[in-house]
A = this chain, B = another copy of it.
Amino acid sequence: MSTPEPDQVAAPRRGRPGHDQETVLRQAIELFNAQGYDGTSMGDLAKALGLTKSAIYHHVPSKTHLLSLALDEALDGLTAVIDEAEQASAGASAYERLRRAVQLSVEVLVAHQPAVTLLLRVRGNSEVELDALRRRRAIDTRLAALVQQAVDEGSLRSDVSPQLVSRLLFGMVNSLVEWHRPGGAVDAHQLSEAITTIAFDGLATHQS
């Protein structure tokens, strides 16, 4: 297998990793999810890619760098969701913005499922992980604010605390990384419809 020089592969295109770095990143995320970040060596990664260990370092400077790229992918996607929901047209109610945030979150989770799976397992064992947890908390805070605004507006029930609503709502969204399989029977649109229907309208046919 050819091992291009770093300047051929590492140059970012429109802020995205280069093609070969992208291949390494996908394989790294898969291994991190399957056997844990700590349980994955650069040697494991090279082996899975059919490269020598030294060839890997032509593509990426370190394992930490791969973790950082993976977590940024997930966090950038989720941040864009909340940006878009918050900036929804001036006429949108808080209820509509929250519902939109839920729909878009499901789409990001499905489109970036391996990276989001990795993010959801981060426990803060390094500076990169602590940074990711800080960014994740900032997103959670903004989502909880959307919930609060919908409660204040009178469109969301007020008998459950907004913080608890936010945790359970996005707990349901996030749970799909545990069982959703890309290309399976249920696509992103069906998932986002099902989740918003259950969460906002409830499962019961008659309110009890």
**Interface set of A (CB-CB < 8 Å, partner B):** 34, 36, 38-39, 95, 120, 123, 154-157, 159-161, 164-165, 167-169, 171-172, 174-176, 178-179, 186, 190-191, 193-195, 197-208
Task: Count copies of this chain in the complex.
Answer: 2
- How far is B168's CA from A190's CA once the two chains are assembled, in angstroms? 12
Distance to closest chain B CB from A58 (angstroms): 30
- Name the one of B120, B168, B199 contacting A202, with C-beta atoms under 8 angstroms: B199
Distance to closest chain B CB from A172 (angstroms): 4
- Name the one of B120, B190, B203 contacting A199, with C-beta atoms under 8 angstroms: B203
Residues in B whose Cβ lies below 8 Å from that of A164: 186, 190-191, 194
Distance to closest chain B CB from A165 (angstroms): 6
- How far is B156's CA from A202's CA once the two chains are assembled, in angstroms? 9
Residues in B whose Cβ lies below 8 Å from that of A161: 186, 194
Most central of A36, A155, A156, A201 by chain B CB within 10 Å: A201
Distance to closest chain B CB from A178 (angstroms): 7
Residues in B whose Cβ lies below 8 Å from that of A197: 157, 159-160
Distance to closest chain B CB from A5 (angstroms): 37
The 6 residue pairs across chains A and B that have the minimum distance between CB atoms: A171-B175, A202-B202, A172-B172, A201-B202, A160-B194, A200-B204
5 A-B residue pairs with Cβ-Cβ distance under 8 Å, sorted by A, are: A159-B197, A161-B194, A167-B175, A171-B174, A172-B175
Residues in B whose Cβ lies below 8 Å from that of A186: 161, 164
